[in-house]
Structure 1
Amino acid sequence: MKRFWVQWGERYLYHPSLIQKILSFLLLPLSWLYCLIAYLRYRRSRPKSMGIPVVSIGNLTVGGSGKTPVVIELAKRYEKPAIVLRGYGRKSRGMVVVKDKSTILCDVIKSGDEAMLYAQSLPNATVIVSEIRERGIAEAVSMGCEVVFLDDGYGKHTIDKLDLVIDVETPNRFCLPSGAYRERLWSGKCVVMLYEGKSFKRTVTVKNPTDKMVLVTAIARPERLDNYLPKVGEKIYFEDHHMFTQWELEAILERTGATSLLVTQKDFVKMSSFNLNLSCLELAIELDETLITTVKEYTDAKKD
């Protein structure tokens, strides 16, 4: 039932039917109120220096935008980077150091899938999850990091940072609950907009392909994968950040007769201990040189 409502909500926000469009229209007064509150919160905020260069990568809408591979590719260019994120889907609370510069310190249940993907993809990075981002950034400073990449931090207006915002196309341009927008590009707030195909380009390869694969994934807006998929027998979607169990994956293999489960890298970190045959969609990102230069100039200036 939960999966049904998650998928219904994603259709409502990004590909609404006629009935959903009518519902969106009826909810406009709440949407205007939500947007006003978000704007007033922004206007009352005063950015504060955290004692370290902070670069935020995120988007204005709910749901996925592909920010994780962009963060990874930018962080690779630094010797002592830190990744700070909330850690959606984790079974822990408070601040958790998932990885110091050399060692992963907890499992994916405690870290959440995105944090574990960062930890496994970035050998030199410190990875910290914290609901209070300022606390996570302060911990990164104390651990000797040189730059913080803030996952999904546009709305953290009290933090002095460079905001990189990934453009996400949606026909529904309203704020929640009528549309997908959590916030707008507020007047007076400087951001660098990122556009897929211009600011960054994706290439996807399949590791360990088999003859009969079934797609199993727990990411937001999984239809984003369609342009990169090889032939699959079935597509099975779970809610974003779902923590898989071995028995439910074994049941899928038995029911479909698949020779492997085709998963994303974010899914893989939650399944790798199950001793199942997995095929993985490995995503590579090529960043525009102008973007790389912009981030480097900002972090260098903040160090001076």
Structure 2
Amino acid sequence: MSRTEAPTIQAQVPASGWPAWWMRRCWLSRALLPCAGLFAALAAARRLAYRRGWLKAWQAPVPVVVIGNVTVGGTGKTPLVLSMAEQLQRAGWKPGIVSRGYGRMAQAADPMEVRADADPALTGDEPLLLRRLSGCPVWVGSSRPQAARALLRAHPEVDLLLSDDGLQHLALARDLELVVVDARGPGNGWLLPAGPLREPWNRRRDATLGPREALATMPQASPGFVIRRHLGAVRQLATGERIGIEAFVQRHAGQAIAAAAGIGHPEQFFAMLRQAGIPLSSTLALPDHHAFGADAFVAISASAVLITEKDALKCKALQIQLARLWAVELQLDVDPAFFPWLRAQLRARTEYPHGFTPA
């Protein structure tokens, strides 16, 4: 088999990151429509309970921006949260970040502050990545209001909260809701479990961000901003050496290069590597938030293995494997109109606070 055919040596998740039948309307998805109807009714009842005040949402004393998605799995929210945190700090804001911390150990403190030297098993991989790259205070907790209150008590200088995910967690009132979509769009367009949607595709939002083709399928009532993901430099885990993609390819010319990812949509990462000119000999697709054990890369026979920055956080203990592991930086190009729009929205909500609460 030629190297460019790139076999998947352990396909634990499908190419889309979703069950194949979520991408089309087939007999199985149709059979689950009654369950989807029940899911929709329960979700609507819950929204109504918050709208009528039967369930209370906690209102933070500072503006709250929720960045989430209406589909199951990752759509690239974390890179956007990071970009927003960096831009808002440059504009003079002092943001803090709250997150659920998916994948963290059950015995971890709840809520807890994410420190730069924390164990990702206790904090979750994405919150730790946000803490290290943004420098912002980050708290995680099963209850976002509790995490937000704890963050504000510990960091009274914080004047803005960013919630990484949490679109459906209505207990935390919010001033802005941003929906992030990816190239998969709505899949077959049906709610769980018949399809990948947590909420209707046309649900209310303040803005939508994603690739141009996905934005074309969104409702036109709210603004849309194009975001484009691309690869940056690669970093060697054993030495910390950081080089560009072209230099990496030249160094490993004639050698087998593999890639592994434990993220929501591994094939998207692999496709980006191939588009960047990296000839992958094999790929290893793993579930999101996968915990890498000592034998994580034993099945891969390659001189170099490319992984995501998020996965690299969990590979510190793999001392024998580190020499061939390289973490790939992910960079985000955001529509230049987005950040002026965001700052204007925040200014308006600072002058007239809490103009929107979850419904």
Q: Alignment partner for residue 156 of structure 1, among 169, 173, 183?
A: 169
* 2:294 pairs with 1:246: yes
Distance 1:235 1:206, change over 3 A: farther
Tell whether the 8 Å contact from 1:85 to 1:129 is kept in structure 2 after alignment: yes
Q: Alignment partner for residue 83 of structure 1, among 87, 97, 111?
A: 97
Size of the aligned set, in residue pairs, is 289
- Per-residue CA deviation, residues 79-125 of structure 1 (Å, 9 max, x unaligned), is 422111101111125211003xxxx25211111111111111112x0
Residue aligning to 2:207: 192
SS at match of 1:246: coil
Q: 1:7 offset after TM fit, Å?
A: 4.0
Further displaced range: 192-201 or 76-85: 192-201
Tell whether the 8 Å contact from 2:267 to 2:285 is kept in structure 1 after alignment: no
Give structure 2 stretches of 5+ with no counterpart.
1-9, 52-56, 213-224, 236-247, 352-359
Residue aligning to 1:288: 335
Tell whether the 8 Å contact from 1:51 to 1:141 is kept in structure 2 after alignment: no
Mapped partners of 1:246, 1:112: distance in 2: 19
Mapped partners of 1:50, 1:176: distance in 2: 31
Q: 1:273 offset after TM fit, Å?
A: 4.3
Mapped partners of 2:296, 2:336: distance in 1: 43
How do residues 173-252 of structure 1 correspond to structure 2 at under 5 angstroms? Answer: 173-184=189-200, 189-197=204-212, 198-208=225-235, 209=248, 210=252, 211-229=255-273, 230-249=278-297, 251-252=298-299
Mapped partners of 2:46, 2:134: distance in 1: 34
Q: TM-score, normalised by structure 1?
A: 0.87
* 2:125 pairs with 1:113: yes
Residue aligning to 2:110: 94
Mapped partners of 1:190, 1:113: distance in 2: 27
Determine which structure has the larger helix proportion and give its number. 1
- For 1:148, give the aligned amino acid: L
- Per-residue CA deviation, residues 117-175 of structure 1 (Å, 9 max, x unaligned), is 1111112x011111100111112222121211101121123412311001241431111
Tell whether the 8 Å contact from 2:266 to 2:286 is kept in structure 1 after alignment: no
Q: 1:204 offset after TM fit, Å?
A: 0.9
Mapped partners of 1:214, 1:190: distance in 2: 39
Tell whether the 8 Å contact from 2:66 to 2:174 is kept in structure 1 after alignment: no
Tell whether the 8 Å contact from 1:39 to 1:186 is kept in structure 2 after alignment: no
- For 1:117, give the aligned amino acid: L
Distance 1:170 1:183, change over 3 A: closer
Tell whether the 8 Å contact from 2:233 to 2:328 is kept in structure 1 after alignment: yes
- For 2:330, give the aligned amino acid: L
Mapped partners of 2:168, 2:21: distance in 1: 20
Q: 1:284 offset after TM fit, Å?
A: 0.8
Q: TM-score, normalised by structure 2?
A: 0.74
Distance 1:106 1:226, change over 3 A: closer
- Per-residue CA deviation, residues 58-78 of structure 1 (Å, 9 max, x unaligned), is 110001101110110000123
Further displaced range: 190-199 or 55-64: 190-199
Tell whether the 8 Å contact from 2:261 to 2:308 is kept in structure 1 after alignment: yes
Distance 1:186 1:39, change over 3 A: farther
Mapped partners of 1:136, 1:146: distance in 2: 15
Q: 1:183 offset after TM fit, Å?
A: 1.3
Residue aligning to 2:28: 23
> Considering only CA atoms, is the larger Rg found in Structure 1 or Structure 2?
2
CA RMSD, aligned part only? 2.3
Q: 1:301 offset after TM fit, Å?
A: 3.2
- For 1:110, give the aligned amino acid: L
SS at match of 2:259: strand
Mapped partners of 1:45, 1:5: distance in 2: 38
SS at match of 2:267: helix
- For 2:209, give the aligned amino acid: L
SS at match of 2:70: coil
Mapped partners of 1:206, 1:13: distance in 2: 36
Residue aligning to 1:63: 73
SS at match of 1:115: helix
Mapped partners of 1:243, 1:262: distance in 2: 16
Distance 1:76 1:136, change over 3 A: same
Q: Identity rate of aligned residues, in percent?
A: 27
Distance 1:74 1:206, change over 3 A: same
Mapped partners of 2:78, 2:335: distance in 1: 16
Tell whether the 8 Å contact from 2:13 to 2:285 is kept in structure 1 after alignment: no
- Per-residue CA deviation, residues 178-219 of structure 1 (Å, 9 max, x unaligned), is 0001112576x4421112245222221351534422111101
